Amino acid sequence: VSSLFAEIKKSYSAPLSIVVNCAGILRDSFLMDMTEDAFDDVMKVNLKGTYLVTQAAAREMVASGVPNGAIVNISSIVGKTGNIGQCNYAASKAGVVGFTKTVALELAKHNIRCNAIMPGFIETPMVASVPEKVLTKIVARVPMGRFGKPEELANAVLFLCSPASSYVTGSVLEVTGGLYM
């Protein structure tokens, strides 16, 4: 991660002021069948990866004195609701929310905001891997009657990175089409 941030610093004249952490993997299994490796893999990518990138970004933003920094961490509605066969994923994404709130408290004095987004079901390769009969049942529970589009999630990220959200920090925005209200 440190070499990545060194390369960013070398490649751009303006200091780093926005970071979006959007990594996530699944290793689905019921609790009693889940291997420790499957649990660890998900935690390493989804939570530890967010920590490592956020820490490096925060250090860079503070050192360069950016006037208005923004960090957005992508969680998941599963971090709030849980989901059968995804105890590792749910724990990692719930951890992202707690992490985000703590980072927001620590970085506010530096004018760096940190927020999270909890997407519901967005039309992505991850969702496409879910069996069709399961997707049909899920979409029936979404009040808006459809899955979200990637650009709708991107617009939420854009808002949280923009001056329009300059007084928003430590918040969690649910982008779910009304699922789990």
Point out the residues that are catalytic.
89
Is residue 90 within 8 A of residue 113, CB to CB? The reply is no
> Which residue has tokens 């967005």?
122
